[in-house]
Structure 1
Amino acid sequence: MQRRDFLIGTATAGAAGLSGCLGTAQQATDAGSTADSDGGRTITVTGSAEMQAPPDRAVIEVSVEATGDSAPAVRDELSTRSDSLRQALRDAGLSDDQLTTGRFAIRPQYARREPGTEPEQTGYEGTHTITIDVEDIDATGDVIDTAIDGGADSIGRIEYTLAESTRESLREDALKAAVDTARDEADVLAARVDSRVVSVQQLNAAGGGVSPTYERYDVAEAASGGSTELQPDDVTVSASVEATYRID
């Protein structure tokens, strides 16, 4: 990760160029509070936070396609072409662990039919999709170029996300910020009823997750553009907590 700055605020940050933004606590019990089992009063609030950082992992779907008079013929062609594609990617430095089969399908192919007539089967068509896990985000464009040169007919969805270690670290930061935001909200609510927060009664992680960014790649459009250059957006990691505080 090259950048992990963030802004703590009471409203959603809108300034461009910041790599993180934290939201306010989103809800609370009524300002009059509620009573707990010991006869005391409590306030329940939900705090949320979002952290943003540049992606450090990409997942690319590439496909080879084939047509033929029979399903076995299509199967064999897909096998030959996908093997060639895999070898090209291996020669570029990718390991077999980074190359997995995403989808394999063979289906009948039909001619366009006139209304009221039976469909006429003309052969078979098939697709073999390989999912590529790119660990060096700066190499994403080169991997796509290698796939195209290696025989890929199409480049599907490109997903920019985070490595597991980066994701967990950002989630921890988001959780800490969400707890701080919830406590700030509880202090405000308690003051409105001439009280103060005494202790936390219950604290639970209430939600959150990772929001990758995606990009579509048009092989035909990119064919005349030379090497591929991509500029992915930041990935967002969010977390929220529900906290119950005792007040007096």
Structure 2
Amino acid sequence: MRFRTLQLSTAAATTALCALLVTASASGAEAERPRTISVSGQGEIQAEPDRALVTLGVEARKPKMEEARAEVAKTVEAVLKLTRDMKIEQKFVRTTRVNIQPEYNWDNNARERNLIGYYVSRQIEIELRDLDKLGQLLEKSFDLGVNQVGDPRLDSSKRRDLEREALAKAVADARLNAEAVAKAAGARLGPPRTISASSGFVPPPMPMMKTQMMRAEAASDAAGSYQSGQMGFNGTVQVEYDLIPNSTP
């Protein structure tokens, strides 16, 4: 009977010791838990684009395939010559292969389709490194027979540097936000623990004519009426700082 009582006492002591260790561990974890503050920051840079990707399309519909192909080929060759005359480096000029599709109409009476002709198309992609030539390129391409034009995709050769500059502004903005919050909370900032960042850019609206009346002017006059606008480069960061309580006097 005495032996049984000793076993129970030992078990109770072990349970008490475990509870004490758990409590001490929780208190230590609470004491070591870092005090942090997490804030976001925004940065933006405005800059003018200095290059554009221009897509010019040529389409033709003719009863005979050879006629449609000849018309498209003639216009494409004229545009390629234009790019050479404008001193555009030919490594920045690309043409797609010819697309040919037969076209039919449906005869309800005969319950059959009839071949009425052929649709032929081709595209020319030009990476323009001098935006002063954009208006001239578009206007003269219209005159040569180009009948499909995509919106010029404007870009900057300094895009990566501008995005980094926007990120740097975002980090500075985040620190100002964190300092304001820390001061209001009666604390000060320590070093950053973690930073996550993202960047991007917003292209300007497609270049437009200054006035619609200028479309009636000569190509040489209208060529100078295209405006590219500005691009917006933005950066966003999320920063976690150590938060250090101010010492009490």
Q: Shared topology, TM-score over 0.5?
A: yes
Q: Which residue of 1 aligns with 2:185?
A: 193
* One of 184, 195, 200 as aligned partner of 1:209: 200
* One of 238, 244, 247 as aligned partner of 2:243: 247
Structure in which a larger fraction of residues adopt helix? 2
The farther-off stretch of 177-186 and 55-64 is: 55-64
- Please say if 1:122 is aligned against 2:112: no
1:1-248 superposed matches below 5 A = 38-69=32-63, 74-101=68-95, 105-111=99-105, 120-163=114-157, 166-205=158-197, 207-215=198-206, 224-227=216-219, 228=222, 229-248=225-244
Asked whether the equivalents of residues 159 and 214 of structure 1 are also in contact (C-alpha less than 8 Å), the reply is no
> Where has structure 1 moved over 6 Å in runs of 4 or more?
none
The structure with more radius of gyration: 2
Determine what percentage of the aligned residue pairs are the same residue.
25
SS in 1 for 2:226: coil
SS in 2 for 1:97: helix
SS in 2 for 1:82: helix
Residue type at the aligned position of 1:247: L
| Cα offset, 1:73, TM superposition | 5.5
Residue type at the aligned position of 1:185: N
What is the root-mean-square deviation of aligned Cα atoms in Å? 3.3
Q: 1:58 to 1:191 in 2, by over 3 A?
A: same
CA distance in 2, matches of 1:77, 1:184: 63
What's the TM-score once normalised by structure 2's chain length? 0.71
CA distance in 2, matches of 1:86, 1:239: 40
Q: Which residue of 2 aligns with 1:29?
A: none
Unaligned 5+ segments in structure 2 are 1-28, 245-249
Asked whether the equivalents of residues 106 and 112 of structure 2 are also in contact (C-alpha less than 8 Å), the reply is no
| Cα offset, 1:208, TM superposition | 2.0
Q: 1:129 to 1:200 in 2, by over 3 A?
A: same
Unaligned 5+ segments in structure 1 are 1-34
SS in 2 for 1:213: coil
Residue correspondences, number: 210
| Cα offset, 1:217, TM superposition | 6.7
CA distance in 2, matches of 1:88, 1:96: 11
The farther-off stretch of 65-74 and 177-186 is: 65-74
SS in 2 for 1:157: coil
